[in-house]
Amino acid sequence: MIPEIGNFAVILALLLALTQAVLPLYGAQRGNLTLMAVARPAAQGQFVLIAFAFGCLAYSFLASDFSVQNVAKNSSSQMAWFYKFTATWGSHEGSMLMWVLILAFWSAAVSVFSRHLPEDMAARVLGVLGLISVGFLSFMLFTSNPFERLLPAALEGSDLNPLLQDWGMIIHPPMLYMGYVGFAVAYAFAMAALLSGKMDVAWARWSRPWTTVAWAFLTCGVALGSWWAYRELGWGGWWFWDPVENASFMPWLAGTALMHSLAATEKRGVFKAWTVLLALTVFSLSLLGTFLVRSGVLSSVHSFATDPGRGAYLLGFFLVVIGGSLVLYAWRAPKMISGSSFGWYSRESLLLANNVILIAALASVLLGTLYPLFIDAMGLGKLSVGPPYFNAVFVPLIAPALFLMGVGPLARWKEASLPDIVTRMKWALGVALATGLLLPLTLNGFNVWASLGFFLAVWIALAVLAAFIDRLKHAQGGLLQKLAGLPSGFWGMQLAHLGMAIGVAGIAVVANYSSERDVRMEVGSYAKLGGYTFTFRGTTEHDGPNYRAARGTLEVSQDGKPVATLQPEKRVYNISGMAMTEASVHANIFRDIYVSMGDQLDDKGTWIVRLYHKPFINWLWLAALFMVVGGIMAASDKRYRIALRRSDAAKNLATQGSAS
Amino acid sequence: MSRIHHCLLVMLLAFSLPALAEEVLAPKQALPMHDPVIEQRLVKLAEELRCVVCQNETLAASPAELAVDLRREIREQMKAGKDDQQVIAYLVERYGDFVLYRPPFKPVTWLLWLGPVLFLGIGGGAWYMTLRRRRDAQPAPVDEQKRAAAAQLLEEK
Amino acid sequence: MKWLPLVLFLALVGFFAKGLFLDPREVPSPFIGRTAPAFTLPLVGDANASFSPADMKGKVWILNVWAPWCVTCRQEHGFLMQLAQTGVIPIVGLNWKDKERKAEALLARTGNPYVAVPEDLDGRVGIDYGVTAVPETYLIDKQGIVRLKHTGLIDPGVWKSKFEPKLKALGA
């Protein structure tokens, strides 16, 4: 009964989404307030219905109802309850339901936090979001319904893929989707501007916080994915430039460019058409990602089971949504060009340079990801494009953008002088260069990439410091008072930039100074790596809820002093028979020591053990944290909320005026 | 047994006991799975090669049987003195360019390798043109109606 | 200029549409048009005898890579028996990575469509031929040049559409 109710709720949601799309958009064209007012309740109703449907599916999983096909294929009665819950979104169908749930959530959020927008703009934004909902709800209902029954019901499920039975699975997809799907709001704002044919600077101020929050979520989601892969896959890597990873990274790059472009549009009214195009591009990349993962056109470890039928539907949807918006762009955008001027070293100019570099990097990642498909489609054979290409191309491209992070925030709007900036930053440049050249020598020998990384990281960090010093010079009160008085927009920018510096430093170290060893360990033997001694104490048998494991014990010490006891496992899952290795990690801010079990070599308990020393790896996750916090701070800047009150007042005046 | 034999036996035991004790008490250092020098070369090379039977994994990391066989094969070739280029040629001869994660620079991949430079160049050009235009742009003529409305709003406060 | 994004996008969609019909994991063999790699392997059940591709010079023949543990090979076996009985083309069965040596018993039980069954225990010859899975089948011409490689099951449909046209062209 419950799956059927859930299915019915989805159908109702589709009807409501249709209403949310058609009536307000038509109403906005015609100036009909009644029709426009349909948008808010429709969006909220849609969210309630889909949340309810999601609850029905989750219930089926928690109750291990194997008469539901999705539950039978992706769960088992032996799993821990929290993995049964996450299995709700562990398949293509389930994750589509999560997609529409999160879209409905954002739409409902817009309906609540848009009181200060003019009615026609709010109606258009919600209307466009409704259109997207219609597309995905229909896709789900007609090709990927998670509520399909399996009759007769299975006695036991096929179990969730062991790789997904991990903490990371619980949190990574929801965060990622909050970001991915959140950019639909930026897209909807851009479409609303194009549909209305006008765009004033206020538009940028309205759409900026939505964009920033979506960006923060996406940063969190991408970082979590990387962290999960690092811990779970056991090869010590954290980024593989796999097509699906790229599919989440490209919207991030475009989203970063969009945030910076919006800054210029908000403050100076420039780049309007470009910002609109970027907003369209970011969401297009989200849709592209959705297509790539589910259509089977690219080979990836992350792909869901593929089906050309679904791929065709998604491609058609993609064509209509993006093609349509690009037609609208070509038609309406030229009217938006403004004539403000700015100089060579102005902040506008540097932001434009930032955008150029980010888009060039994005285009390169896109090219590399799709190149095998291009070549195959033209009958020119089969190629692979992997990490060596992406690393060779991306790092040199992004380096100038990182360098500009030390210059841009210091440049003034409209006009700035290069000599002035140089004077303020010359000591920072000196320190950064010195660090870049000398630090690698103290670590493990000179390495040009590590050198570049350290230089850029120190440069950005010192630029953040310089910005604070500059700002605080003119502030009132004691130090803490001054700091508290700085606007959150400023704090957000500096924290996010500092996060980048931390990330670059971390990558510079872990990419160039990690070490690993494969050793055959008899019980009682020891091995050394990175200054640590690992002593193997043998294995014990251990049963989990849905697996059997051989659990190894390794005592780690440094200079004779014990540091940790690590217990990696080699698991065999009962139902699928899949073998999996569960690494054991000891982390601190300076390094991870990471151990995983290979194969058993003989009956006396000799095993192949893989040891890793990963210095500064945790700086990557710390960097993401800084960026997320920075993003949230920037989005919560007072001026967005003051503007709210002021335009409420203006609206009241306007309605009074029109009433009399 | 004669006295001398007895003494010899005791001496033998006395000398061998500590040796026995050492074997039992001192922990053994684990041996690397394979020759570390070759292994380092292998891993570095195999990280740029594709496991042709996997969904998208390197030859270095893959646990698939064919990957294990190929790693064994490469190890033997390296021991026999082959250099990296020869090993790559060996694999490409059998599995095609598909096995390389670093695409070779040939006409079919010119666009791939030169594309990023092109993108940056086009972007840089666009940046330059935009700035030239902006530098020389005249401020937009102010709409008198808007100016009046703004003045009125300022009066109202 | 304003139409450029749309044009680029449409081109992209075109590629994706084509891509939906392609399989990114299907890898073409680099051996097509090249001489079949040489090898000498002992036969299953008769270590004194051996097989080498040179033995088949002057004939158009098929090299079928199979293994007793491979389920799809068992499914293909029926068709291969039929093919062998028609005598149209000789089939050599390369027994790949059969560590438990089950081939002889299996063929005795189910029938042997092969003119020779060389034994590749450690898979080295397989690597030389770029074998990635079983079953895989090569069509080799009179000069010993590989003309066709098929990955996966051969059934009457595949035989008719892929192999027969090539056989006619080679004059077999």
Asked if A233 contacts A163 with a C-beta cutoff of 8 angstroms, the reply is yes
Same domain for A77 and A158, yes or no, is yes
Q: Which of B55, B93, B96 sits opposite C28 (nearest CB)?
A: B96
- Please say if the pLDDT value at position C94 is more than 60: yes
pLDDT digits (tens, 9 = 90+) for C105-131: 999 999 999 999 999 998 999 999 999
Both tokens assigned to A336: 């938006």
Q: Tell me the ipTM for this assembly.
A: 0.88
Q: What is the pLDDT of residue B21?
A: 46
Q: What is the mean pLDDT of residues A13-35?
A: 94
The whole-number average pLDDT for the span A232-258 is 92
Query: Is the Cβ–Cβ distance between A130 and A50 less than 8 Å?
Result: no
**Burial of A396 (C-beta count, 10 Å sphere; 0-12/13-18/19+):** middle
* pLDDT interval class at A658 (50, 70, 90): very low
Query: Are A246 and A227 members of one domain?
Result: yes
Q: What is the CATH number of domain C33-170?
A: 3.40.30.10
Q: Identify the closest residue of chain B to A245 by CA–CA distance.
A: B56
SS3 label, residue A75: coil
Tell me the C-alpha distance between A317 and A305, whole Å: 20
Residue in A242, A326, A337, A367 to test binding to C, most C beta-carbons within 10 Å:
A326
Closest by CA to A512, choosing from A585, A455, A589, A446, is: A446
Element containing residue A352 per DSSP (H, E): helix A347-377
Task: Give partners of C (≥3 CB pairs < 8 A).
Answer: A, B
Per-residue pLDDT at A657? 46
| Residues A611 and A630 both lie in one domain | no
Burial class (CB in 10 A: 0-12, 13-18, 19+), C162: middle
Does residue A280 sit within a domain? yes
Q: Cα–Cα distance between A156 and A326 in angstroms, integer?
A: 49
**Coil, strand or helix at A564:** strand
Packing angle, helices A119-143 and A92-112, rounded to 10 = 170
Q: Residues B26-76: pLDDT tens digits?
A: 678 888 878 888 988 999 999 999 998 888 899 998 888 899 999 999 999
The whole-number pLDDT of residue B11 equals: 66
- What residue type is assigned to position C81 of the chain? M
**% of chain A at pLDDT higher than 70:** 97
A106 and A218 belong to one structural domain: no
Distance separating alpha carbons of residues A257 and A269, to the nearest angstrom: 16
In SS3 terms, A571-622 reads as EEECCCCCEEEECEEEEECCEEEEEEEEEECCCCCCEEEEEEEEECCHHHHH
**What distance in Å separates the CA atoms of residue A507 and residue A509, rounded to the nearest whole number?**
5
Cβ separation C22–A373 shorter than 8 A? yes
Q: Are residues A591 and A486 in the same domain?
A: no
Residues of C in contact with A312 (CB under 8 A): 20
Query: Does residue A306 lie within any of the structural domains?
Result: yes
In a domain, A185, yes or no: no
Q: Domains in chain A: how many in total?
A: 4
* Bridge partners, residue B7, by sequence: none
Question: Which residue carries 């791939």 as its tokens?
Answer: B112
Does one domain contain both A199 and A110? no
Mean pLDDT of chain A: 90
pLDDT of amino acid C128 = 94
> What pLDDT, in 10s, does the model give residues A168-224?
878 999 999 999 899 999 999 999 999 998 788 888 889 999 999 999 999 999 999
Query: What is this structure's pTM?
Result: 0.91
pLDDT at A270 over 70: yes
| Interchain contact A526–B (C-beta under 8 A) | yes
| The domain boundary residue, chosen from A360, A385, A407 | A407
Helices (H), A113-200: 119-143, 167-196
Across C97-161, the runs of DSSP E, i.e. the strands, are: 119-120, 136-140, 146-151
Show Cβ contacts of residue B25 under 8 Å, excluding neighbours closer than 6 positions. none
Q: Position C150: which residue type?
A: H
Q: In angstroms, how far is the first alpha carbon of chain C from the final one?
A: 59
Question: How far is residue B31's CA from residue B39's CA, in Å, rounded to a whole number?
Answer: 13
Q: Is A172 within a domain? A: no
User: Do A364 and A221 have their domain in common?
Assistant: yes
Per-residue pLDDT band for A659 (boundaries 50, 70, 90) equals: very low
Give Dmax over CA atoms of chain A in angstroms. Answer: 94
Contact (CB<8Å) C6/A299: no
Interface contact C45, partner B, CB < 8 A: no
**Residues A207, A155: one domain?**
no
Facing residue for B70 by CB, picked from C25, C27, C127: C127
Alpha-carbon distances of A574 from A68, A70, A161, A579, A599, rounded to whole Å: 21, 20, 12, 10, 19
A171 falls within a domain: no
A248 and A379 assigned to the same domain: yes
Provide the residue type at A277 as one letter: L
Say if C42 is an interface residue toward chain B (CB within 8 Å): no
Among the candidates A583, A598, A616, a domain finishes at A616
Backbone φ, ψ for residue A565 (5° rounding): -120, 120
| Residues counted in chain A | 660
The helix/strand/coil state of C151 is strand
Please tell me whether residue C119 adopts helix, strand or coil conformation. strand
- A509 assigned to some structural domain: no
* Complete DSSP assignment for C63-83: EEEE-TT-HHHHHHHHHHHHH
Structural contact between residues A342 and A414, judged by C-beta atoms closer than 8 angstroms:
yes
In a domain, A250, yes or no: yes
* Tens digits of residue pLDDT in B72-101: 999 999 999 999 999 999 999 999 999 999
Round to whole Å and give the CA distance between A464 and A459.
9
Residue range of the domain that includes A571: 515-616
- Whether A349 and B131 have beta carbons less than 8 Å apart is answered as yes
List, as ranges, residues 204-263 from A with C-beta within 8 Å of B: 233, 235, 237, 240, 242-243
List, in sequence order, the alpha helices (H) in C87-143.
103-110, 124-128
Q: Would you call C22 an interface residue with chain A, using a CB distance cutoff of 8 Å? A: yes
A452 and A529 within one domain: no
Q: How far is C153 from chain B (nearest CA, A)?
A: 17
Q: Give the pLDDT band of residue B1 (cuts 50, 70, 90).
A: low
Test the A interface: residue of B24, B49, B56, B128 with most A CBs within 10 Å: B56
Mutate to test the interface with C, among A321, A332, A373 (most CBs of C within 10 A): A373
A651 CB-contact burial (10 Å; exposed 0-12 / middle 13-18 / buried 19+): middle
Question: Are both A325 and A265 inside the same structural domain?
Answer: yes
Distances (CA, A) of A93 to A47, A81, A184, B120, C88: 18, 20, 20, 40, 49
Give the three-state DSSP class for B2. Answer: coil
Chain B CB within 8 Å of residue A352 CB? yes
Burial class (CB in 10 A: 0-12, 13-18, 19+), A88: buried
The answer to whether residues A378 and A431 belong to one domain is no
| Domain residue extents for chain C | 33-170
Interchain CB contact of B71 with A (< 8 Å): no
